[in-house]
Amino acid sequence: MQARPDQLDQSLQQGLRPAYLVSGDEPLQVMEALDAIRATCREQGYLEREVFEVNKDFDWQNFTDEAATMSLFSSRKIIELRMPTGKPGRQGSAAIKDYLQNPPEDYLLIISTGKLDKGSKNAAWFKAIDKAGVVVQCWPLQGAQLSSWLKQRFADRGMQVDGEVVSYVSERVEGNLLAAAQEIEKLHLLLGPGKVDIHSIEQSITDNSRYSIFELVDTALRGSSSRVHKIIDNLAAEGQEPILVNWALTKDIRLLTQISQNPATADTVLSRSGVWSSRQTLFKQCLSRHSERSFRQLLVRCFKIDQLSKGMAQGDVWDELRAVTARLSSRQR
């Protein structure tokens, strides 16, 4: 049988099946589905676990032998196959199908794969799992599905949110559920349970001292000079490694320098460089405030900061970082 990720908990409560297949290209859903299956197994006495990494050199006889081996500790056991390609080959397909024709008592099979193509879904091994066990396919969420997922994620932490908050998080993460989960966890730490609106989020982020390096860079690109000062002061007070701050700044300033040579190529270069569309706007805002010469001067300052961070020059590394971020967030032609 097949179940969506949000249906898995209910399926597990109804009783464990002999086999589970979790596939897809949405990492967080895959990870949490596997964690939920393992947790239920532990609750029901599956205390041993054997994990096989399936690659082109994998010997499927090892899997067959393991399935035929009695537990040394008289406990239930999980056999887990990590199969990134979703293609076990002829020998693997036969081994999985044979296993499921008569699943060993007190053994449970978990297979995790990447996104499966049409051919894999028509394969005998897939159909065998679909018949004997549960197939969970994890797809990227968009639109209304993503909004519902975000609202539920907030609700699981006792937070009631409105549409503005959902849109705020959705725009920041662009469908990346792992990033969304981290964003919600951060907001939960900042605000706690209860009703949350966009104003409380903005105020909390402004006042809170736990700023990240990436928030510093984005704020500088946006041109929010006063907030940049506060963020970098907090990073210094918290003992953040200046070399990491400089790495993040240098990476984006180098890209800005490249684009400033031919601003008409901004969209193409940013997309090819893997910059999310929500951050592309920040890059363009920064480009409008600086010239190529300005960016090159900032790169020279970043090189100096690198030397300071490694003890190869004398000076206050945080003062230099303050100077670079202040200049990046201001207008310099």
Q: H or E stretch including 108?
A: strand 107-113
- Distant-in-sequence, close-in-space partners of 319: CB < 8 Å, separation ≥ 6: none
- Distant-in-sequence, close-in-space partners of 76: CB < 8 Å, separation ≥ 6: 41, 44, 45, 46, 47, 48, 106, 107, 108
Q: What is the pLDDT of residues 27-45, one digit of tens each?
A: 888 888 998 999 999 888 8
Q: Where are the domains of the chain?
A: 2-138, 143-207, 213-329
CATH value of 143-207 in 1.10.8.60, 1.10.760.10, 3.30.70.100, 3.90.700.10: 1.10.8.60
Residue tagged 């018949």 (tokens):
131
* Surface-to-core class of residue 86, CB atoms within 10 Å of its CB (0-12 exposed, 13-18 middle, 19+ buried): buried
Taking alpha carbons only, the member of 262, 189, 215, 232 closest to residue 325 is: 232
* Strand, helix or coil for residue 302: helix
Give the pLDDT confidence score for residue 57 in this predicted structure. 85
Give the pLDDT confidence score for residue 205 in this predicted structure. 58
Taking alpha carbons only, the member of 213, 221, 210 closest to residue 187 is: 210
Which pair of tokens denotes residue 69? 């081996």
- Determine the CATH number of domain 2-138: 3.40.50.300
Q: How far is it, in rounded angstroms, from Cα 6 to Cα 146?
A: 12
Q: What is the Cα Rg of the chain in Å?
A: 25
pTM (predicted TM-score) = 0.60
- Determine the CATH number of domain 213-329: 1.20.272.10
Give the pLDDT confidence score for residue 174 in this predicted structure. 67
Q: How far is it, in rounded angstroms, from Cα 43 to Cα 99?
A: 24
Q: What are φ and ψ of residue 93, in 5° steps? A: -60, -45
User: How confident is residue 209, by pLDDT bands cut at 50, 70 and 90?
Assistant: very low
User: How confident is residue 298, by pLDDT bands cut at 50, 70 and 90?
Assistant: very high
